[in-house]
Amino acid sequence: MTMETVDLRSDTVTRPTPAMRRAMAVAEVGDDLFGEDPTVRALEDRLAGLFGFGAALFVPSGVMANQIALRLLVAPGQEIVCDADAHILAHEEGSPARYGGIQTRTVRGERGLLGVEALEGALRPGNAYTVGTRAVALEQTHTRAGGTVYPLETLRAVRRLTDRAGISVHIDGARVWNAHTATGTPLREYGSPVADTLSVCLSKGLGAPVGSVLLTAAEHLPRARSLRHGLGGGMRQSGILAAAGLHALDHHLERMADDHAHAALLAAELRDAGCAVRPQETNVVLVDAPGAEEVVAGAAREGVLVTAPGPGVVRIVTHLGVGRQACRRAAGVLAALMGEGRRTGGGSAAAERAQQWKESEVA
């Protein structure tokens, strides 16, 4: 019997479905740098409408969407404030500093989330000799904190604070879809009422192969297009890719509730096995496990792929490519490695086990 691999490393590993590929194949296209790709336009218009913004820009990646947004809002030598574990800091190659000349100041959020209390003391007005804070950057849901959801009330309170301070808000909404799915909050509420710029990913839980969209006010669009071009993100017949995004909005948004149910199932089974599972809110499950690297290696040997995003933490992410049965099997494998009756863990037992694996590989 062949064992099917269960890939729970990230919701980026999804492959386009046959129906999505068909939608891509028949997409009407034109040269988007001339503004002539009708499918790109349709995607941009649809997302601008969904989130209540005046303009949208289709870009190749979430990193690019975030970096264009920050440069729209913040000039070189000015400052953003964000959570200490934000994606824009941890996973974007230092781009705010590198390309935007933007200084970053961090505040440690509560499970990644920054409220008014945390931010209030951090914002500086700036003057002739003090760097001024120009924007606050938030992440919805917060990836490294385990897919945590910003409560709408917190976003509204932050918006009131930044309005009073006369500064902007960027939301990295790569997984805003998951926040919407978890809370039922309309997408629009997570958009223009609480943010000046919002980036959303089509290639995470929505399951498109490529693409993110930057949402902002209409007046920012010419500069956003210029920044995209300067970063090498200008695309031509990109309607082929935008078609995948449109298809995903039609067919993959509602089903995201399944991903959350599967994550809840994994969390419950691992908890039952005695694992130290952190609170699970969306499609990400974090488990505190000494010897996380060995857990990742041990699971992989049984065809279950997960990651260790930090020391002593195992991360599991559900998505449309993994069904309920596969999640059950993954839970069994992971429970055996991390649960109370585990075969491996931290310390020397794990090292011994790792050594045995190495030897068996040689053999």
Ligand X SMILES: *Cc1c(COP(=O)(O)O)cnc(C)c1O
Q: Which is nearer to ligand X, 204 or 262 (CB)?
A: 204
Minimum distance from CB of 176 to ligand X (Å)? 10
Q: Which is nearer to ligand X, 173 or 298 (CB)?
A: 173
168 CB-side CA count, 13 A: 20
Q: Which is nearer to ligand X, 133 or 141 (CB)?
A: 141
Of the candidates 70, 77, 217, 193, the residue with the CA atom closest to the CA atom of residue 136: 70
Of the candidates 112, 123, 114, the residue with the CA atom closest to the CA atom of residue 164: 123
Minimum distance from CB of 192 to ligand X (Å)? 19
Q: Which two tokens stand for residue 212?
A: 């993110």
Minimum distance from CB of 112 to ligand X (Å)? 10
Q: Which amino acid is at 189?
A: E
Using the structure block, give the residue that is written with the tokens 């601008």: 48
Q: Which is nearer to ligand X, 137 or 167 (CB)?
A: 137
Of the candidates 158, 220, 230, the residue with the CA atom closest to the CA atom of residue 195: 158
Q: Which is nearer to ligand X, 192 or 212 (CB)?
A: 212
Minimum distance from CB of 241 to ligand X (Å)? 13
Residue with nearest beta carbon to ligand X = 62
Q: Which is nearer to ligand X, 74 or 210 (CB)?
A: 210
Query: Could you tell me which residues come within 8 angstroms of residue 25 by beta carbon, excluding any fewer than 6 positions away?
Result: none
Minimum distance from CB of 141 to ligand X (Å)? 8
- Spatial distance between the Cα atoms of 40 and 28, rounded to a whole number of angstroms: 9
Q: Which is nearer to ligand X, 282 or 344 (CB)?
A: 282
Minimum distance from CB of 259 to ligand X (Å)? 14
- The beta strand positions in the chain, using DSSP E, are 6-7, 55-59, 79-83, 103-107, 133-139, 168-173, 197-201, 212-216, 276-277, 284-288, 304-305, 307-310, 313-317
Minimum distance from CB of 13 to ligand X (Å)? 12
- CA-to-CA separations, 234 to 26, 56, 65, 228, 279, in angstroms, rounded: 22, 14, 12, 6, 40
Q: End-to-end CA distance of the chain: give it in Å, rounded.
A: 22
Minimum distance from CB of 63 to ligand X (Å)? 4
Q: Which is nearer to ligand X, 201 or 331 (CB)?
A: 201
Task: Give residues in contact with ligand X (CB under 6 A).
Answer: 61-63, 66, 87, 139, 143, 172, 174, 201, 203-204, 212
Q: In sequence order, what are the beta bridge partners of 113?
A: 110
For residues 252 and 320, the answer to whether their CB atoms sit within 8 Å is: yes
DSSP 151: P
